[in-house]
Every structure is written in C-alpha cells, then in structure tokens.
Structure 1
Amino acid sequence: MSPWPFHRRHRPDGGHVVVRLGGDIDKGNAEGTAQHLLAALSVHPDVLEADLRDVRHLSADGCLAFFTVLRTLRSTPTRLIVTHAGPQVRAMLFQVGLVRALRGAHNLSEEP
C-alpha cells in the first residue's frame, strides 16, 4: 500500500478536478501531499477540490501541504476548495487559519 492513499478524478463540468486524500497528513508526508495536489494542476482546472473524507488526522505541520498549494495557485485562476473534512480536520484548518485563505471552503463554513 502506498504511504499516501490518493485518488484523483476529473469531472467533465468545466475543469473540476477532485483529489481524495486519506490517512494522516502530518510533517512526514506534507510535502508529498502538496506534490500530489499540485500534479492535478497539469490539466489546468478551474477548481481543484481536496476531498478530505478519508483523512483521519491533520496536524498543524500537515497543513503546510495546503498552504504550499495555495501559494502556487496565487498566479493561476484555479481555486482550491476543501470538502468533507471531519471534526478534527476541520478544527485544525480553523486553528491554523487556513479556512480564511480558502476561496470557498465547502463543509467548513462554520467554526467547529
């Protein structure tokens, strides 16, 4: 089994790419997680969706993956959205301020 259980799918609705992440996202795999998300940009989507339904734990260090992607997206029209975050993941995204940096955080609209 790979250390990062990633799944990527493309939706035919205007360049929407979904990357489903799973397991734990922490210091040990934040860079690999960011690289996997960035690889999805090769098709120049309008929306890059990070589906976190299978993420069991997100550490503060693991949030670096999302900040890395956001920094790259600043020079593109692509927007990053985060969906299906569980309670612990959602709380960490709020704690590090990542929710404020996202333009359209689905399922994250209310503080935990």
Structure 2
Amino acid sequence: MKRVASRSRQRGLSFIGLVFLVAILVAVVGIGSQSVPVFLEYQAITKAANKAAAEGNTVAEVKASFDRAASIDDIKSISGNDLQVSKVNDKVVVGFEYSREIHLVGPAYLVYRFKR
C-alpha cells in the first residue's frame, strides 16, 4: 500500500491580513502618540496643584502659586481660576476638573476627562 503525501496546510499571514494588521498598528500608534502629551500635562497639573496646596494658605495664594507653576511647565488646559480650593482639618486641598479632546478622523474625537 502506497501512501500519498497530502498537501501540508499553509501557515502565515495573507496579504490582506498583513494590511489589516498594519492598519490597526498605525491607528494604535497614532492615537498613542497624541495621548502621551495629554497624560504628561495631567501629571504636570497634579504636581503643580500639590505644590500650590503646600505653599499657599489662602485661595488667592494657591491660585497664584499654581499659575506660576503653569507658566513654567507650559500648562494650557486649566488655570488657577479653575481650581477648587478648600480646607480640610487646617490643610489646604486642591481639586480640579477638565477635559481634553483629540481629533481622530471626520466627526470622531477621543475625549479624556480628568478629575481630582
């Protein structure tokens, strides 16, 4: 009895599969490259808010301190007037809330909302 060698099944990506995979990777890298500055700015805002809370005793001092730090760190999303300043047990607490939009394509936007 003779055995006939069956065709082995092909493995790997087809051209259309490769194009689809590259399109997904380009979209992820594009969105990621636009999102990184948004998160870096959020970290700078958090740092400036913490510093302002530690330095200031009044609302005006906290807002002025934040504005000084914002001008140094090039923070454009919020200003000292957007801060919510309160005192809890004789400690200054600074909060904020803002959103940033990233235009994707056509009418599609990616919206980041930050609150602290």
TM-score by length of 1: 0.27
TM-score by length of 2: 0.27
Counting strand residues as a fraction of each chain, which structure ranks higher?
1
- For CA contacts below 8 A with separation 6 or more, give which structure has more relative contact order: 1
Counting helix residues as a fraction of each chain, which structure ranks higher?
2
